[in-house]
């Protein structure tokens, strides 16, 4: 059994300067209460690794607006003009990685792989400084694994063992980043008795989850 902790306590576990893998797509599937708690704590100098930075006032966008982020690794920032402005001003370093490449690099980090080979980026600025490996007469970029100090997850529900179930697009990134965080903090909408979640619906087994957040009141 896992004891649930408050969002404030969870935010207190995350030091300034941490590398955070955060799930979600435009904020759907992100741990909103935990993000709010990080903003309230005044977190600083965070590296955010995520699909995107959501939108102003939503999800990761709140961390951007609060000045909590110094580095973003994401597949796009097009929906958040605040991220764009801070990138242009030099306040935030932004590393854009194609979505498929990004999630595969995170998967490689979670699986203990030495990297992935991808043709995406060959012949473009993306290949600058990267090793090119030929397989079957075709060139591929060697992309290195990505891990985080923490993986912050939003889930539909969890049971008392920490097994997680997701809903629809909230699957985006969450099951994979759970593999690649040294500490995994899950924010479920509901916590239910063991057995309520069908085994087929468990996408992240409880053995991967370090902490559960209490349910929202």
Cα(109)–Cα(176) distance, integer angstroms? 10
Give all strands (DSSP E) within the chain, no chain letters: 4-5, 19-22, 46-49, 69-74, 93-96, 116-118, 132-135, 138-143, 148-159, 164-165, 181-192, 211-213
Asked if residue 215 has pLDDT above 80, the reply is no
Residue 72: the pLDDT is: 98
Helix, strand, or coil (residue 10): helix
Residue 216 structure tokens: 């929202």
CATH topology of domain 4-113+146-213: Glutaconate Coenzyme A-transferase (3.40.1080)
Residue 168: the pLDDT is: 87
Rounded mean pLDDT of the chain? 95
Residue 217: the pLDDT is: 61
Q: Which of 9-23, 64-78, 121-135, 144-158 has the lowest mean pLDDT?
A: 121-135
pTM reported for the whole predicted model: 0.94
Q: What is the mean pLDDT of residues 82-109?
A: 96
Asked if residue 216 has pLDDT above 70, the reply is no
pLDDT tens digit string along 118-169? 999 999 988 889 999 999 999 999 999 999 999 999 999 999 999 999 998 8
Residue 1: the pLDDT is: 74
211, 7 Cβ separation under 8 angstroms: no
Element (H, E) at 50: none
């Amino acid at each position: 059994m896992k004891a649930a902790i408050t969002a404030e306590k969870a935010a207190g576990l995350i030091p300034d300067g941490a590398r955070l893998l955060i799930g979600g797509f435009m904020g759907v599937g992100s741990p909103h209460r935990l993000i709010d708690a990080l903003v309230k704590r005044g977190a600083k100098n965070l590296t955010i690794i995520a699909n995107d930075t959501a939108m102003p006032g939503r999800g990761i966008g709140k961390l951007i607006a609060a000045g909590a982020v110094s580095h973003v690794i994401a597949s796009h920032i097009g929906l958040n003009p605040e991220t764009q402005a801070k990138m242009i001003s030099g306040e935030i370093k932004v590393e854009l990685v194609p979505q498929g490449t990004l999630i595969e690099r995170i998967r490689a980090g979670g699986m203990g792989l030495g990297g992935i080979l991808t043709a995406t980026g060959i012949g473009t600025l993306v290949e600058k400084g990267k090793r090119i490996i030929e397989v079957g007469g075709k060139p591929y970029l060697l992309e290195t694994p990505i891990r985080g100090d923490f993986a912050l997850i939003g889930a539909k529900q969890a049971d008392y063992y920490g097994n997680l179930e997701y809903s629809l697009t909230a699957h985006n990134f969450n099951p994979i980043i759970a593999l690649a965080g040294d500490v995994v903090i899950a924010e479920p909408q509901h916590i239910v008795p063991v057995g309520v979640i069908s085994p087929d619906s468990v996408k992240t087994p409880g053995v991967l989850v370090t902490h559960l957040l209490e349910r929202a009141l």
